[in-house]
Amino acid sequence: MYSRIIGTGSYLPEKVLTNHDLEKMVDTSDEWIRTRTGISQRHIAADGQLASDLAVNASHRALENANLKADEIDLIIVATTTPDMVFPSTACILQNKLGIKQCPAFDVQAVCSGFVYALATADAFIRTGKYRNALVVGSEIYSNIVDWKDRSTCVLFGDGAGAVILTQSDQPGILSSHLHADGNFSDVLAVPGSICDGKVQGSPFVNMEGNTVFKFAVKVLEEVAIEAIEENNLQTTDIDWLIPHQANIRIIRSTAKKLGIPMEKVVTTVDKHGNTSAASIPLALDIAARDGRVQSDQYVLLEGVGGGFTWGAALLRW
């Protein structure tokens, strides 16, 4: 028993925040942001809009793309760092908004690697034969946890959601997944706040050591990509599309160069979306699938790295 992606969907909030808009908010410039990150704009959720709201829009589009009804879903996994509330899970809230009854629903928290973690989890469940159709979503509202006075971080992030439908198949779709974590780096990229006595203890905003994140990301993204390729007895030249986490164009280019994969085979959306954390990979996957770049029988490599540190890859046969 295998699992295969049969539908993709994505959603971006209507509000667009450009680099020129940010110039009016903090001491930065369009040129500085673009040359260092590759980002020109990002989408920002409306007041009161929640991660589950973005997720439900992406889910509807994925269900339509898969030609499935919501009640045919029997497993829901949501990857998010910005849940609607402490509990219940955003997955349970999404389940209710979709009108789905009683199927398992839970969140996965692995930050920017979250979608890869969630996809690997859903794949493992489907391979048991117990579940037939899984909805896997990455949904984030980072505008809620960004300090808009901190020019080193506020220029990087955006909001959005992406979703896929996995179904049982007798032919391999998800060929393999490879997950890793190293908690020794837990303070390098973090939102170190917590709730105690009804108050936030510590900082509720993203804190990041940029140089450390960059060096670590390039190193492990190369390693985990090679791990996935070798596991399946392939060469890097066999990869038709690399869809990495969309954090920074310099990280993406450096990783592709180390792997020997030309940028023409790399899907990039960071210029329009910014870093949408767990949503970035499914957002990029949906766009590439819908515009015809990703086609049947191609090898597609997904990979991400995020706070924790966590990192992982999934190799797909489309």
Active-site residues: which are they? Answer: 112, 245, 275
Of the three residues 170, 192, 208, the one that is the final residue of a domain is 170
Cα 229 to Cα 234: distance, rounded to the nearest angstrom: 5
Band (101; pLDDT cuts 50, 70, 90): very high
**Which CATH number fits the domain that encloses residue 67?**
3.40.47.10
187-241 pLDDT per residue, tens: 999 999 999 999 999 999 999 999 999 999 999 999 999 999 999 999 999 999 9
Band (301; pLDDT cuts 50, 70, 90): very high
Band (6; pLDDT cuts 50, 70, 90): very high
Question: What's the average model confidence in pLDDT over 54-83?
Answer: 98
Q: Are residues 164 and 294 in the same domain?
A: no
Nearest to 141 by CA among 116, 159, 126: 159
Distance of CA 140 to the CA centre of its chain: 9
Of the three residues 108, 138, 170, the one that is the final residue of a domain is 170
Q: Are residues 229 and 255 in the same domain?
A: yes
- Quote the domain boundaries for residue 65: 2-170
Count of domains forming the chain: 2
Entry field: residues in the chain: 318
Pairing mode, strands 299-306 and 241-244: parallel
Question: What's the average model confidence in pLDDT over 79-89?
Answer: 98
Contact 307, 187 (CB under 8 A): no
Cα 37 to Cα 272: distance, rounded to the nearest angstrom: 11
Cα 11 to Cα 30: distance, rounded to the nearest angstrom: 25
Of the three residues 148, 170, 192, the one that is the final residue of a domain is 170
Q: Are residues 148 and 187 in the same domain?
A: no
Question: What's the average model confidence in pLDDT over 263-277?
Answer: 98
pTM metric for this prediction: 0.98
Band (245; pLDDT cuts 50, 70, 90): very high
